[in-house]
């Protein structure tokens, strides 16, 4: 696989179109005309797809078969393959005439339909009127040739620090698809992103590529490599972003290539201050993630340090690893034999303090930018008499180079002063607004991006200071790349 790429983070550039209305579409340079083609519109077109509500995203192939003297006898066929592996086919309702431009060639099936247009040289293809499962959708494609191969990659973006912005919406994950086009040693990339119900595209820049074995790693950043960023209006503020692109430069024996992109973005809005978030591809390259925490609480060997050691053996006041037989909380779905449990933490005889935490320290995060956190959580369900108060919480936090703690995942009640259910706090505002934690272990997680740093500490802090206020934790996993 041959790559020299540029990248556009369109999910971010949307905000620059009009500072407080990022749903408006962005005007940007088309990259298609720069790609070298075989000077005919016969052949294969590859690209990316998304529904405007971000529910579905996919890679797309449109095949216009070679023809005879006047008409091709083979019907053009399009294939859509979602990021989850589902495949859908649509056929053209007519056969294009050789040597002429194709105008609004209609493709249709029971699941999806669209119109395809391209000039007689295969340049500037356009796909319009896209419908998938009764949802409005969007497709961008480029001509795929041996000299200009196209690599489509699906992905997502999300806002992490949103400062209450009403459109971006903290925690909302939306489409960020990427389409690489390489020709004559130069590289272009078009991306396709959604914000609300709008899609947009633009360009970016890649540099500093280095190969290690079969993998090549490149730096990617906003702009076109010059001093002027591309893709925002003069009355808007530019979205800046940077990240890493990793790809397999030598196909494996099975023929499988990989392409992985991760990064972080930032936007200095006028009314809401600095907004920031992350973007990542659905695909990844084997061996590229660094595991920092992998704790299953199954034995006495662990890397975290608890605030205190609970040897009291109490069943209603505890802060320790348990198999569930020595505590009052009833938890199901344990991932193995043991988990970490906490209840009425400051009530633990002699040593209990509230809040208390599990802390992992001293990770070397040089060169790491993006992190994925997950764990299984449960709470002894008390039916209609839930017991978490407004001051109760569980917060997962990181600290860089000994700086302040930053929360990236939290469980809180809904803000009621006393006795409601623990909920995932999606917007990290101190009040739970997401899924309810039940008495069955369920996996939840979060992603976050950091600026350049040398060391990172992680802690899971819990504040539970009364009977029946409990939490159970299992299989804590943190990876970075």
**pLDDT digits 0-9 by tens, 218-248:** 777 776 443 333 333 323 567 777 778 788 8
Dihedral of alpha carbons 11, 15, 18, 21, sign? positive
Q: Does 297 or 182 have the greater pLDDT score?
A: 297
Torsion angles phi and psi, residue 17, rounded to 5: -60, -40
In this structure, of 25-39, 356-370, 465-479, the range with the lowest mean pLDDT score is 25-39
- Return d(Cα 212, Cα 247) in angstroms, integer: 11
- Return d(Cα 202, Cα 6) in angstroms, integer: 10
433 has pLDDT over 80: yes
Query: What number of other Cβ atoms are within 10 A of residue 127's Cβ?
Result: 22
Q: How many Cα atoms within 13 Å fall on the side-chain side of residue 408?
A: 25
273 within 8 A of 319, measured Cβ to Cβ = no
Q: Does 196 or 93 have the greater pLDDT score?
A: 93
Closest residue by Cα to residue 268 from 314, 237, 291, 298: 237
Bond from prior residue into 355 cis (ω within 30 degrees of 0): yes
pTM of the shown model: 0.55
Identify the bridge partners of residue 80 per DSSP, sorted by sequence position: 60, 88
18 has pLDDT over 70: no
Query: What number of other Cβ atoms are within 10 A of residue 218's Cβ?
Result: 20
- Return d(Cα 3, Cα 150) in angstroms, integer: 10
Give the contacts of 325 (CB within 8 A, at least 6 positions apart): none
In this structure, of 77-86, 276-285, 350-359, the range with the lowest mean pLDDT score is 276-285
In this structure, of 279-293, 353-367, 373-387, 408-422, the range with the lowest mean pLDDT score is 279-293
CA 246 to chain centroid: 16
**pLDDT score at 114:** 98
**pLDDT score at 252:** 47
pLDDT tens per residue, range 368-398: 888 989 999 999 987 777 889 999 999 999 9
Full set of structural domains in the chain with CATH: 10-288 (no CATH), 293-480 (2.60.120.260)
In this structure, of 114-118, 312-316, 378-382, 389-393, the range with the lowest mean pLDDT score is 378-382
Helix, strand or coil, per DSSP, at residue 335: coil
Q: Give, rounded to a whole angstrom, the gap between the first and last alpha carbons of the chain.
A: 22
- Return d(Cα 446, Cα 426) in angstroms, integer: 9
Q: Of the segments 168-172, 244-248, 287-291, 475-479, which one has the largest average pLDDT value?
A: 475-479
Q: What is the dihedral of CA 97, 99, 102, 103, to 10 degrees?
A: -90
Helix, strand or coil, per DSSP, at residue 321: strand
**pLDDT score at 202:** 63
- Return d(Cα 195, Cα 211) in angstroms, integer: 35
453 within 8 A of 401, measured Cβ to Cβ = yes
CA 157 to chain centroid: 5
Q: How far is CA 333 from CA 297, 338, 379, in A?
A: 14, 11, 11
Q: Of the segments 292-301, 323-332, 366-375, which one has the largest average pLDDT value?
A: 323-332
Q: How many Cα atoms within 13 Å fall on the side-chain side of residue 176?
A: 29
């Amino acid at each position: 696989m041959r790559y020299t790429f540029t990248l556009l983070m369109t999910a971010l550039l949307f905000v620059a179109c009009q500072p407080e209305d990022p749903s408006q579409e962005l005007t940007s340079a088309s990259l298609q005309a720069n790609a070298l083609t075989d000077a005919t519109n016969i052949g294969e077109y590859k690209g990316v797809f998304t529904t405007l509500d971000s529910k579905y995203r996919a890679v797309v192939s449109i095949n216009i078969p070679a023809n005879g003297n006047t008409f091709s006898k083979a019907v053009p066929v399009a294939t859509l393959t979602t990021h989850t592996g589902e495949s859908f086919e649509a056929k053209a309702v007519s056969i294009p005439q050789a040597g002429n431009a194709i105008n609004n060639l209609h493709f249709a099936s029971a699941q999806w339909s669209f119109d395809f247009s391209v000039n007689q040289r295969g340049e500037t293809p356009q796909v319009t009127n896209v419908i998938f499962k009764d949802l409005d959708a969007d497709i961008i494609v480029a001509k795929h040739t041996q000299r200009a191969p196209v690599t489509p990659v699906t992905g997502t973006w999300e806002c992490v620090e949103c400062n209450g912005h009403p459109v971006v919406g903290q925690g909302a994950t939306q489409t960020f698809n990427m389409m690489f086009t390489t020709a004559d040693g130069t590289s272009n990339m078009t991306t396709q992103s959604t914000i609300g119900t709008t899609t947009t595209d633009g360009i970016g820049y890649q540099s500093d590529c280095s190969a290690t074995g079969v993998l090549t790693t490149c730096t990617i950043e906003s702009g076109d490599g010059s001093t002027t960023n591309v893709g925002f209006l003069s009355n808007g503020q530019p979205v800046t972003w940077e990240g890493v692109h990793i790809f397999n430069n030598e196909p494996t024996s099975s023929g499988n290539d990989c392409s992985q992109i991760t990064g972080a973005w930032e936007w200095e809005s006028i009314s809401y201050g600095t907004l920031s978030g992350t973007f990542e591809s659905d695909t990844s390259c084997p061996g590229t993630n660094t595991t920092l925490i992998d704790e299953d609480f199954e034995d006495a060997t662990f890397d975290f340090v608890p605030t205190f050691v609970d040897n009291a053996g109490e069943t209603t006041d505890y802060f320790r690893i348990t198999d569930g037989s020595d505590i009052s909380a009833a938890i199901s779905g344990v991932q193995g034999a043991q988990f970490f449990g906490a209840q009425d933490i400051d009530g633990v005889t002699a040593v209990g303090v509230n809040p208390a935490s599990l802390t992992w320290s001293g990770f070397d995060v040089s060169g790491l930018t993006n992190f994925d956190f997950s764990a299984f959580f449960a709470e002894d369900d008390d039916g209609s008499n839930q017991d978490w108060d407004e001051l109760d919480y569980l917060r997962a936090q990181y600290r860089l180079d000994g700086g302040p703690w930053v929360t990236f995942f939290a469980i809180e009640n809904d803000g009621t002063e006393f006795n409601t259910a623990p909920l995932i706090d999606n917007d990290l505002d101190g009040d739970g607004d997401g899924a309810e934690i039940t008495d069955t272990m369920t996996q939840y997680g979060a992603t976050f991006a950091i600026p350049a740093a040398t060391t990172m500490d992680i802690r899971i802090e819990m504040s539970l200071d009364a009977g029946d206020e409990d939490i159970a934790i299992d299989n804590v996993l943190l990876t970075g790349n």
